[in-house]
Amino acid sequence: MDKILLLPPLVFLILLVVGYAVSLGFTKLAFKGHVSAGKMEQYACGEDIPAQNVRPDYSQFFPFAIFFTIMHVVALILTTLPRGFSSGYILAAVLIFSALVGLLVLFRK
């Protein structure tokens, strides 16, 4: 019973309360002045440029993000396999094969 402060759920709740109290404290300290007319405008080095709604296209970004995620996970697992692990070569081959199948599915035309 003397180690009750070492219980993870209790520590989480204590830190959650402390974090909320800190957040409230900084909210009280924050500046609450009025917002000027140009404060919310985009900065364009002093030029008066009308605001534009830009919608970037991420269709080419996501396949590469998933590609790098797959490759990093494969590299992490392969490099952390124990040396004396008897079925490590089989696990490595299955992992590499599944990564290749995933990449083929990802970049199929």
State which residues form the domain around 102: 58-109
The pLDDT score that the predictor gives to residue 48 is 75
Residue 79 located in a structural domain = yes
Q: How far apart are CA 55 and CA 83, in angstroms?
A: 49
Whether residue 95 lies inside any domain: the answer is yes
Q: Is residue 25 part of a domain?
A: no
Residue 107 lies in a domain: yes
Of 14-18, 28-32, 39-43, minimum mean pLDDT range: 39-43
The pLDDT, as a whole number, for residue 87 is 78
d(CA 86, CA 95) in angstroms, rounded, equals: 16
17 within a domain of the structure (yes/no): no
Any domain includes 20? no
Residue 65 has pLDDT above 80, yes or no: yes
- Would you say residue 51 has pLDDT above 70? yes
- Count of structural domains within the chain: 1
Tell whether 90 is covered by a domain: yes
Query: Would residue 18 count as lying in a domain?
Result: no
- For the entire predicted model, the pTM comes to 0.48
